[in-house]
Structure 1
Amino acid sequence: EKAEKLISSDCVAAVFGGWTSSSRKAMLPVFEDNNSLLYYPVQYEGLEDSKNIFYTGATTNQQIIPALDYLKEKGAKSLYLVGSDYVFPQTANRIIKAYAAANGMEIKGEDYTPLGSTDFSTIVNKVRTADADAVFNTLNGDSNVAFFREYTNVGLKPADMPVVSVSIAEEEVGGIGVQNVEGQLTAWNYYQTIDSPENNKFVAAYKAKYGQDKPTSDPMEAAYTSVYLWKNTVEKAKSFAVKDIQDNADGVTFDAPEGLVTIDGDNHHITKTARIGEIRSDGLIYTVWDSGQPIEPDPYLKNYPWAAGLGSSSK
Structure 2
Amino acid sequence: MGELNSSGNDCGSHLDSARPTRRSILKGVALTAGAILLSKPGILRAAEQEEIQVASMFDLTGNLNIYGVQQMNVSKYAIDAINQNGGVLGKKLVLNAFDTQSKIELYSRYAQEIGTNEKVAAVVGCFTGASREAARPVLSRFKKLLFFPTIDEGGECDRYTFMQGTDCVQQEGPLIEWAAKNAGKTLYVVAADYVYGHVANAWTKALAEKAGIEISGVEFIPLEVSDFSSTIRKIQSAKPAAIMSNLVGSNHIAFYRQFAAAGLNGSIPIVSPVFGLGNEQEILSAEESKGIVVAYSYFEALESPENKIFLDGFRKQYPSSGVVADTPAQVWIAWHQWKQAVEKAGTTDIMPVVEALESGQAYTGPAGPVVVDAPSHRNIQDVHLARVNADQKFEIIEKFQQMKPTRQVVGAEACDLTGTDKGAHRMIEPKF
Q: Distance in 2 between the 1:289 and 1:28 partners?
A: 34
Amino acid at match of 2:153: E
Q: Secondary structure at the match of 1:254?
A: strand
Q: Distance in 2 between the 1:178 and 1:272 partners?
A: 30
- Please name the residue that 2:371 is paired with: 262
Task: Give aligned-pair identity as a percent.
Answer: 27
Q: How big is the shift at 1:59? A: 1.4
Q: Secondary structure at the match of 2:188?
A: strand
Higher relative strand content: 2
CA RMSD of aligned residues (A): 1.7
Query: Does 2:298 match 1:196?
Result: no
Q: Secondary structure at the match of 1:16?
A: strand
Q: Distance in 1 between the 2:136 and 2:228 partners?
A: 33
- Please name the residue that 1:45 is paired with: 153
| 1:99-138 superposed matches below 5 A | 99-138=207-246
| 1:1-315 superposed matches below 5 A | 1-9=109-117, 11-74=119-182, 76-158=184-266, 160-169=267-276, 171-212=279-320, 214-250=322-358, 251-291=360-400, 293-300=401-408, 307=410, 309-313=411-415, 315=421
Q: How big is the shift at 1:283? A: 2.2
Quick check: 205-214 or 215-224, which moved more?
A: 205-214
Q: Secondary structure at the match of 2:415?
A: coil
Q: Secondary structure at the match of 2:398?
A: strand
Q: Distance in 2 between the 1:102 and 1:264 partners?
A: 24
Q: Distance in 2 between the 1:108 and 1:278 partners?
A: 24
Q: Distance in 2 between the 1:26 and 1:16 partners?
A: 14
Asked if the contact 1:261/1:272 (under 8 Å) is kept, the reply is yes
Q: Distance in 2 between the 1:68 and 1:47 partners?
A: 21
Q: How big is the shift at 1:252? A: 2.0
Q: Secondary structure at the match of 1:49?
A: strand
Q: Secondary structure at the match of 1:272?
A: strand
Quick check: 246-255 or 79-88, which moved more?
A: 246-255
Q: How big is the shift at 1:266? A: 2.4
Cα 1:30–1:62 change in 2 (3 A) is: same
Q: Distance in 2 between the 1:116 and 1:311 partners?
A: 32
Q: Distance in 2 between the 1:45 and 1:298 partners?
A: 10
Q: Distance in 2 between the 1:42 and 1:219 partners?
A: 5
Cα 1:69–1:27 change in 2 (3 A) is: same
Cα 1:264–1:219 change in 2 (3 A) is: same
Q: Distance in 2 between the 1:73 and 1:182 partners?
A: 19
Quick check: 230-239 or 4-13, which moved more?
A: 4-13
- More RCO (CA 8 Å, sep 6+): 1
Q: Secondary structure at the match of 2:225?
A: coil
Amino acid at match of 1:282: D
Q: How big is the shift at 1:99? A: 2.0
Contiguous gaps of at least 5 residues in structure 2 = 1-108, 422-432
Q: Who wins on radius of gyration, i.e. which is larger?
A: 2
Asked if the contact 2:169/2:203 (under 8 Å) is kept, the reply is no
Q: Distance in 2 between the 1:174 and 1:295 partners?
A: 28
Q: How big is the shift at 1:313? A: 3.1
Q: Distance in 1 between the 2:310 and 2:237 partners?
A: 44
Q: Distance in 1 between the 2:337 and 2:361 partners?
A: 7
Number of residue equivalences: 307
Cα 1:310–1:80 change in 2 (3 A) is: farther
Q: Secondary structure at the match of 2:219?
A: strand
Q: Distance in 1 between the 2:378 and 2:125 partners?
A: 15
Q: How big is the shift at 1:150? A: 0.4
Asked if the contact 1:37/1:242 (under 8 Å) is kept, the reply is yes
1:274-314 Cα deviation digits (max 9, x unpaired): 111101232221111111x211222316xxxxx5x344437
Q: How big is the shift at 1:75? A: 5.3
Q: Secondary structure at the match of 2:402?
A: coil
1:103-160 Cα deviation digits (max 9, x unpaired): 32111110111103100011012112211111000000123321011001111125x2
Q: Distance in 1 between the 2:180 and 2:207 partners?
A: 11
